[in-house]
């Protein structure tokens, strides 16, 4: 009988110790981020100045290297929903931005790489969801949608975009992927890796 009493005592002691232990990180911070978008991340990755141009780079699987900074990648805050960062050019009439290097990726379709010709303007692109209440890290989601691009002959075509990644307000860097649905121009899908930062990065 004595061994059973000893075992019971041990189990009770172990249970008491577990109750006194701090909650595990997984219990404190759920796997899924909170559903309320972060407003503080908007202030880190966008600045309310004309022609604000964050540092965005695309990994080129052909050259196996990161591109130079994608120029003319002007960010904006959506007027319809200020929880979104968009990309476009509200400063010059009938112009646009080089969003995700699409002006280069689709140059053969448009006939050139001029942002004023391509006229890419997307009001709602990036939204940020913190890992937990008050967290400075989390998931960035790209709104799934069709992006309209203009050719040199003034006709248009659309490319679907979707994607997601992670962000860190402390390092001020977003690592993410974008998938382009090219079926409207006879292709399939392509996915590229990107980095977006508030400051220049040395990647190669």
- When pLDDT is averaged across residues 126-135 and rounded to a whole number, the result is 95
Query: Residue 185: its pLDDT value, please?
Result: 96
Q: How far is CA 134 from the centre of its chain?
A: 19
Q: Is 60 a residue whose pLDDT tops 80? A: yes
Please write the tens of the pLDDT for every residue from 67-87. 999 999 999 999 999 999 999
* 169, 40 contact by CB (below 8 A): yes
* Segment 163-185, tens digit of pLDDT: 999 999 999 999 999 999 999 99
Number of separate helices (H) and strands (E) present in the chain: 6, 9
1 or 164, greater pLDDT:
164
Q: What is the pLDDT of residue 34?
A: 63
pLDDT of residue 36: 86
Q: Per residue in 93-128, pLDDT tens? A: 999 999 999 999 999 999 999 999 999 999 999 999
CA 81 vs CA 113, 126, 175: distances in Å: 30, 11, 23
What pTM, to 2 d.p., does this model score?
Answer: 0.82
Higher pLDDT, 37 or 20: 37
Of the chain, the end-to-end C-alpha distance in Å amounts to 70
Residue 23, pLDDT above cutoff 50: no
pLDDT category at 35 given cuts 50, 70, 90 is confident
pLDDT for 24 beyond 60: no
């Amino acid at each position: 009988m004595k061994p059973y009493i000893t075992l019971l005592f041990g189990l009770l002691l172990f249970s008491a110790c577990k109750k006194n232990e701090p909650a595990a990180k997984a219990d404190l911070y759920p796997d899924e981020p909170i559903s309320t978008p972060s407003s503080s991340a908007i202030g880190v990755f966008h600045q309310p100045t004309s022609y604000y141009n964050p540092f965005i780079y695309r990994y080129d699987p052909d050259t196996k290297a990161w591109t130079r900074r994608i120029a003319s990648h002007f960010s904006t805050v959506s007027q319809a929903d200020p929880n979104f960062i968009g990309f476009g050019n509200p400063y010059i009439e009938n112009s646009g931005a080089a969003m995700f290097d699409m002006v280069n990726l689709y140059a053969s379709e448009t006939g050139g790489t001029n942002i004023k010709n391509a006229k890419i303007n997307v009001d709602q692109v990036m939204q940020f969801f913190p890992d937990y209440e008050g967290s400075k890290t989390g998931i960035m989601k790209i709104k799934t949608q069709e992006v309209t691009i203009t050719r040199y002959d003034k006709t248009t075509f659309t490319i679907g975009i979707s994607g997601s990644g992670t962000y860190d307000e402390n390092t001020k860097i977003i690592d993410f992927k974008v998938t382009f649905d090219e079926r409207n121009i006879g292709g399939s899908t392509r996915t590229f890796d990107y980095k977006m930062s508030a400051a220049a990065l040395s990647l190669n």
